[in-house]
């Protein structure tokens, strides 16, 4: 079984072109609370809360899965590999670099981590009309239909989740978690390195973190943060090749 977990500030719609290219019927998409799914009362949306949420979801499958994560979902995939390898057959993600000891959060994340400044940014970013948010996403490379579906769920709830998560993950939180990277090697891992993605560490940091985690590296040259939208056929080929390389 394949399980896909997306990131922030997105919804599960980002996977649709890739899933069409995969053409499989054993796929489940999980949406982190606040990101296309309700934000339950009492859920504080911290990095640890999201890890615990994903562990709880994976426990319901009753069998190890092939887990694929992007952005927040990518960091969660790595954390599950570090802490609950029994839930996985394999893991893949594009965010292993955030656990490197020298990782520095990208500019937008630093805004969200700053009290007052973050609130102003999310109010602007998730305010306005769906059409305005859709146009903004299209300008960042989203296909129109996917952009509209994501924009429809970018709201005040998502803004609260964005702020809470990023503030809980401010350094040195991620580098501290990264001390456990070698534990991820207990299950086969794939680190997707999209070279034009400037949000998840330098290319060197991603290679070094992947090596610590015992993960195979696949380079997507010239692709950015939303590699699964830019080249879904290539992404499907890379993932399928990884899964086919695993022991039966």
Examine residue 97 and state whether it is found in any structural domain, yes or no.
yes
Q: Residue 186 domain-assigned?
A: yes
CATH code of residue 194: 3.40.50.1820
pLDDT value at position 227?
98
Is 139 part of a structural domain of the chain?
no
Q: 27 lies in a domain? A: yes
| Number of domains the chain is built from | 1
Rg (CA), the chain: 17
158 assigned to some structural domain:
no
Rounded CA separation 16/153 (Å): 16
How high is the pLDDT of residue 248?
A: 77
Query: What integer is the mean pLDDT of 163-174?
Result: 98
Q: Measured between alpha carbons, how far is 37 from 30 in angstroms, rounded to an integer?
A: 9
- Kindly report, residue by residue over 61-111, the tens digit of the pLDDT: 999 999 999 999 999 999 999 999 999 999 999 999 999 999 999 999 999
DSSP SS3 for 104: coil
Tens of pLDDT, residues 103-162: 999 999 999 999 999 999 999 999 989 999 999 999 999 999 999 999 999 999 999 999
- Residue 208 falls inside a structural domain: yes
In a domain, 45, yes or no: yes
Residue 123 resides in a domain: no
Domain that holds residue 82: 2-103+172-244
The pLDDT tens digits of the residues spanning 5-21 come to 999 999 999 999 999 99
DSSP three-state, residue 95:
coil
Q: What pLDDT score was predicted for residue 102?
A: 98
Q: Can you list the alpha helix ranges (DSSP code H) found in the chain?
A: 16-22, 47-59, 72-83, 107-112, 117-125, 130-139, 144-151, 156-168, 173-177, 203-212, 227-230, 232-244
- Burial (Cβ within 10 Å: 0-12, 13-18, ≥19) of residue 115: exposed
Q: Does the predicted model carry a pTM greater than 0.95? A: yes
């Amino acid at each position: 079984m394949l399980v896909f977990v997306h990131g922030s500030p997105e919804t599960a719609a980002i996977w649709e072109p890739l899933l069409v290219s995969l053409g499989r019927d054993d796929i489940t998409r999980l949406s982190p609370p606040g990101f296309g799914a309700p934000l339950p009362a009492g859920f504080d949306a911290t990095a640890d809360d999201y890890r615990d949420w994903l562990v709880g979801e994976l426990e319901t499958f009753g069998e190890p899965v092939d887990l694929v994560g992007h952005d927040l979902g990518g960091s969660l995939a790595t954390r599950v590999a570090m802490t609950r390898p029994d839930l996985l057959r394999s893991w893949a993600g594009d965010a292993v670099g955030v656990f490197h000891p020298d990782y520095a959060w990208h500019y937008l994340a630093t805004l969200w981590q700053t009290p007052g400044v973050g609130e102003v940014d999310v109010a602007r970013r998730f305010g306005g009309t769906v059409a305005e948010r859709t146009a903004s996403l299209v300008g960042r490379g989203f296909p129109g239909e996917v952009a509209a579906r994501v924009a429809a769920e970018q709201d005040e709830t998502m803004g609260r989740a964005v702020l809470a998560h990023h503030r809980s993950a401010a350094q040195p939180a991620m580098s501290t978690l990264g001390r456990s990277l070698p534990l991820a090697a207990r299950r086969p891992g794939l680190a997707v390195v999209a070279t034009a993605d400037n949000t998840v560490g330098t290319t060197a940091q991603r290679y070094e973190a992947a090596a610590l985690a015992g993960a195979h590296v696949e380079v997507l040259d010239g692709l950015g943060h939303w590699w699964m939208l830019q080249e879904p056929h290539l992404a499907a080929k890379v993932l399928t090749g990884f899964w086919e390389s695993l022991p039966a």
